[in-house]
Amino acid sequence: MTGLRPDSTGIYGLAPWFRTLKEFKNLTTIPQHLKQHGYTTYTGGKIYHGKLGRSPQDKEFDHLGPQSTGAIFPPKKLVNTPSTMRLVDWGEFPHKDEDRSDYKTASWAIKTLNQKPKGPFFLSVGFFLPHVPCFAPKKWFDLHPIHKTKLPLIKRGDRDDTPRFSWYLHWTLPEPRLQWLEKHNEWMNLTRSYLASTSFVDAQIGRVLKALDKNGYTKDTIVILWSDHGWHVGEKGITGKNSLWDDGTRVPLIFAGPGINKGICSQPVELLDIYPTLCHLTNTHPPTHLEGLTLLPQLKSATARRERPAITTHNQNNHGIRSQNWRYIRYADESEEFYDMKNDPNEWHNLAGNPKYQDLITQHRQWIPKTSRPLANGSKQRTLVYNPKTKKAVWEGLEILPSDPIPMDE
């Protein structure tokens, strides 16, 4: 939404809201840019995070739809996870689709389209699921029966060749480890819950697209579908999103509409590319601060070459570089991972120590951001700091010692 990397803002966790930092107080975001060029802007659901961007003084959008409230909770947790956090829960919850926040968000978007906005408009529709808690009505679970549902592929001892620092990115999180899921026979339940939640959201997207077509907007509307992050369901021994591997970082990104040709681009791209791409698709001049690349060449020809790999950052100085066939990861303590994504798509074999791949690693290393801003004032929630001089890591205010055992939920 800002067009900036976390390295440029210093915001690596869930706080602070970027408008509280004086240098970004007046930064032009995607909806503001389009508003400047005659678009009426609407938002509903989870577009920033929770209540962020929804106060009148933010001036992010012209019209505010329903706020994402996430889930309706059962009287007590369905799963007795190690964390007492109510969000960390999953399973069949016997309420109707209509009770869900995401259903209401889709209904608001449909109502907005039925009212036929005048002039060009930007409609941003943010769905919460499949974020935890992964609750969904029974009919969505029925699409994924136990006897047909496959558990995620894993390799025992998968973390034996990954640096200890890789654990620091998710040192103590409310999401349980695979070890806990297996011990308590919850792995299949979580897998089905995640799939059911995803199927539910697919249906809500379908409802919105049907309304778009019904109201005659399909031929002259650009539609972009994306997700904010991936999710581990046991891969690499964890659940959740805090990683630099494919399971934590790979997301869907789909463009459709005028000026966009059919095709599947096999080159990794970035969510930062959405902003400049929208500018070019709407014939508006991109702001100078944008750090992504326009995807216009790829939208015309899926085989068009992109200038650089995709770069993902997780807290200061932890980066993943994803090219078409390779993934390179470097952590803040300079430990590394390197994977052959063509022959090892599950990232089971870390090749960083193999001399055969040093030239390739050097090529990928050049894309590591040259500067990395320290954590902004007010940073909190899932923040990790590493001091290379003292070699101390601090996760959410907790100092991690080299001798500390890795938390495994036991």
Query: In the predicted model, is pLDDT for residue 21 greater than 70?
Result: yes
CATH no. for residue 48?
3.40.720.10
DSSP bridge partners of 126: 45
Assess if residue 393 is contained within a domain. Answer: no
Assess if residue 43 is contained within a domain. Answer: yes
Structure confidence at residue 94 (pLDDT): 79
Rounded CA-CA distance 16/10 in Å is: 9
Residue-averaged pLDDT of the chain: 95
The total number of structural domains in the chain stands at 1
Are the C-beta atoms of residues 232 and 248 closer than 8 Å to each other? yes
**Interhelix angle 101-114/187-214, nearest 10 degrees:** 10
Mean pLDDT calculated for residue range 238-257: 97
pLDDT in tens, 307-346: 999 999 999 999 999 999 999 999 999 999 999 999 999 9
What percent of the chain shows pLDDT beyond 70? 100
Query: In the predicted model, is pLDDT for residue 57 greater than 80?
Result: no
Rounded CA-CA distance 289/144 in Å is: 44
Structure confidence at residue 104 (pLDDT): 95
Mean pLDDT calculated for residue range 377-389: 95
Give residue for tokens 């992010």.
60
**Cα 372 versus chain centre, distance:** 21
Distances (CA, A) of 314 to 2, 130, 326: 17, 21, 18
Assess if residue 381 is contained within a domain. Answer: no
Assess if residue 209 is contained within a domain. Answer: yes
Structure confidence at residue 223 (pLDDT): 98
Assess if residue 228 is contained within a domain. Answer: yes
Give residue for tokens 């790999």.
309
Q: Report residue 69's pLDDT band, with 50, 70 and 90 as the boundaries.
A: confident
**Strands 63-67, 40-45: parallel, antiparallel or unpaired by DSSP?**
parallel
Assess if residue 79 is contained within a domain. Answer: yes
pLDDT in tens, 75-106: 999 999 999 999 999 999 978 999 999 999 99
Structure confidence at residue 132 (pLDDT): 93
Q: Report residue 50's pLDDT band, with 50, 70 and 90 as the boundaries.
A: confident
Can you spell out the DSSP letters for 324-376? SSEEEEE-TTS-EEEEETTT-TT-----TT-GGGHHHHHHHHTTS-S--PPPP
User: In which domain, by residue range, is 148 found?
Assistant: 6-304
Query: In the predicted model, is pLDDT for residue 207 greater than 80?
Result: yes
Structure confidence at residue 306 (pLDDT): 94
Query: In the predicted model, is pLDDT for residue 184 greater than 90?
Result: yes
pLDDT in tens, 132-183: 999 999 999 999 999 999 999 999 999 999 999 999 999 999 999 999 999 9
pLDDT in tens, 397-410: 999 999 999 999 86
What percent of the chain shows pLDDT beyond 90? 93
3-state secondary structure of 9: helix
Q: Which helix (H) or strand (E) holds 136?
A: strand 134-136
Structure confidence at residue 319 (pLDDT): 98
Among 58-72, 201-215, 346-360, the least confident range: 58-72
Assess if residue 355 is contained within a domain. Answer: no
Return the structure tokens found at 339: 């994977």
Assess if residue 59 is contained within a domain. Answer: yes
Structure confidence at residue 371 (pLDDT): 87
3-state secondary structure of 387: strand
b/e sequence 292-321, b meaning 16+ C-beta within 10 Å = bbbbbbbbeeeeeebeebbbbbbbbbbbbb
**pTM (two decimals):** 0.96
345 or 71, which is more confident? 345
Return the structure tokens found at 337: 């991972």
